[in-house]
Amino acid sequence: MSFERSHEILSGARDEGPSETAIVTVDLDAVAANYRRLRDLAASAECAAVVKADAYGLGMIEVASALWNAGCKTFFVATLDEARGLRTLLPPATIYVLAGLMPGTAELYRADGLRPVLNSADEIREWASFCATSGERLSCAVHIDSGMNRLGLSAEEVDQVATAVDLWPALTLSLVMSHLACSDEPDHPKSDAQRKIFDRLRALLPAAPASLANSAGILLGPDFVYDLVRPGLALYGGHPRRHGENPFQPVVQLKGRILQVRNAAPGETVGYGATRTLREATRVAVVTVGYADGFFRALSVADGEEGFAGYLGPHAAPIVGRVSMDLITLDVSLVPESFARRGAWVELIGPNVPAHALAAHAGTIDYEVLTNLGRRAFRRYIGA
């Protein structure tokens, strides 16, 4: 989405028109409220925000602006391009790039005042060399792998750089961090094991603020909070734990529009592949959302299955047949015609259907639901 288009929506220049087939509504007040709740849970630690992947698919410009106005001053993104775009939007912000230092990119970081998250001994050496050559002690974070075996320095690499006394005077180590693998399961022993490894390895490096907790990590309690927390999913109303109630406000709604309501006889089939055969006379509503809009094909419902249901007002309407690129079909036999009519809107994510519930039906997680919301739907930002 262009900056001009985003500004038009933010300023309320127009609302959806009669030609719109799908609407994604993002509640920026809810984003800000979730940030403040996370900040309170983090107590004395700084609460940063992870806004990678276009703020989890909800719009970097709008979301980062709302977070900044709510008091957030430190942001994490995945790539250097994301960071440079965010720097244009928020010149004073502290911005870390999780992908770290690709060869030859140090000058790009320096030019825009960005901070790489250094994930290997080689990256630390390259950054220190660049700092020494430029005569500037530029800031960076160091990422320790505490047992996830993804990005980060291994224990052997920590030992290597810890004794390389020529490296550290050249740069400014502003953060030492790691990432939890199983924080969405509160009783998983992996989290405590990672915390102990993190404490042991970071003690070998120069003293610096520490960060371990993501959204779910914050909920593990004060032992995991350290000096800075890095929530992502919870900001956007996602459920950071696998079970229990979600303590964060919903942020996103997705609605599709009914194009047609038709009557189908017993024995007829619905959709591609004829995977759903109707056992009785059925009223079917054809709705203008499909997998091109991020509504997963895995939500298809074949014979003998019960799956996801959209809502028309208070009335549930289950999917029948396959999800196609642009369309889904709902059984609206039990929905009053005043709700199930041509042009009416159907709630697919919202108060009745949280993103994590849709994710569970699709066999995935709400991170994937949010980041896959299609861009052809009308985007409406409210609040903030």
In angstroms, rounded to a whole number, what is the distance separating the alpha carbons of residues 294 and 195?
36
Question: Based on the number of CB atoms within 10 Å of its own CB, is 211 exposed (0-12), middle (13-18) or buried (19 or more)?
Answer: buried
In angstroms, rounded to a whole number, what is the distance separating the alpha carbons of residues 211 and 226?
6
The helix/strand/coil state of 333 is: coil
In angstroms, rounded to a whole number, what is the distance separating the alpha carbons of residues 75 and 92?
11
Q: Which stretches within the chain are classed as H helix?
A: 3-10, 28-41, 52-56, 60-69, 80-89, 106-112, 121-134, 155-162, 189-202, 215-218, 355-362, 366-371
The helix/strand/coil state of 142 is: strand
In angstroms, rounded to a whole number, what is the distance separating the alpha carbons of residues 246 and 94?
29
From the list 73, 190, 196, 272, the catalytic residue is: 272
In angstroms, rounded to a whole number, what is the distance separating the alpha carbons of residues 184 and 223?
16
The encoded tokens of residue 72 equal 């957030």
CA 66-72-77 angle, 5° bins:
85
Whether 272 is catalytic: yes
From the list 52, 255, 311, 381, the catalytic residue is: 52
The encoded tokens of residue 136 equal 């500037």
Exposure b/e, 232-250, CB count within 10 A at least 16 = b: bbbbbbbbbbeeeebebbb
Which residues have a catalytic role annotated? 52, 272
